Amino acid sequence: MKLIILDDYDKASEWAAKYIRNRILHFNPGPGRFFTLGLPTGGTPLGCYKKLIEYFKKGELSFKYVKTFNMDEYCVFHELVKAEISHLDMNTKDYHSFMWNNFFKHIDIRAENAHILDGNAVDLQAECDAFEEKIKAVGGIELFVGGIGPDGHIAFNEPGSSLASRTRVKTLALDTILANARFFDGDLSKVPTMALTVGVATVMDAKEVMILITGAHKAFALYKAIEEGVNHMWTVSAFQQHPQTLFVCDEDATLELRVKTVKYFKGEFLLW
């Protein structure tokens, strides 16, 4: 486990983007040899996505032979039925739209290689099981990039989730609904209460995991992830046990860490 501490959000985003770029280039993907990349949504990865788009436009990176698997998706159709909200209003907020608007449409990835769970599926568990099979079919994930919530959840693996969990349907915690209200014009009634999510074990199966943690509001979650033991109430802590985990954070996110912890990881980073 490594903790990479950068000065601010922009530097953390750039470092993460460079790491992804270099991993893809070193892998040297091509026909019949795809690089598989797990991706998150939310506000934290946007800076990283912007840098990756920049590398693509400069000709430094191609996603032609990259296959992506997103962490989660809202159960849009089921929420529409429950709340009687118009399809157009809700559909513009789903993670398919988020990923295409903020990343995929700006690079050369093929649509069939961008895998996102279908929150409109009639049989949600069947959709989740099929997603797991798709990951197995490509030989697993090379690098899974994730973010966390202030309560330490990764993907939508809310506090109390099984650390052996697989892709499934989850009911969202109130803290998550409140945090995501900003994507729904601050209207809590529009925020879905159910989602499809990869499980903790699904992400643990990846060959390498990189978790982005920025901002003072994530500082206590980083403390729980780094300095305390593995705990299903803080699902991000499970990645202490992964052989290749990178936590990438800014200075603000380290505010709850012990001084000696910060000094140790900063010193280790200098030796990289």
Task: Output the CA–CA distances (angstroms, integers) from residue 268 to 35, 99, 263, 272, in the order listed.
Answer: 28, 34, 9, 7
Task: Output the CA–CA distances (angstroms, integers) from residue 195 to 78, 92, 120, 160, in the order listed.
Answer: 10, 16, 10, 16
- Catalytic annotation, pick one of 78, 96, 153, 242: 153
- Catalytic annotation, pick one of 72, 73, 79, 205: 72
Indicate the DSSP class of residue 113: G
- Catalytic annotation, pick one of 94, 158, 205, 252: 158
- Catalytic annotation, pick one of 73, 79, 151, 252: 151
**Residue 185 CB coordination number (10 Å):** 9
Decide if 151 is catalytic. yes
Decide if 72 is catalytic. yes
Nearest to 202 by CA among 100, 111, 45, 72: 72
Contact 223, 260 (CB under 8 A): no
Please give the backbone phi and psi of residue 119, each rounded to the nearest 5 degrees, phi first.
-75, -5
Decide if 87 is catalytic. no
Decide if 158 is catalytic. yes
Ranges of beta strands (E only) in the chain are: 2-6, 35-39, 66-70, 72-74, 114-115, 143-147, 168-171, 194-197, 208-213, 245-250
Which residues are marked as active site?
Answer: 72, 151, 153, 158
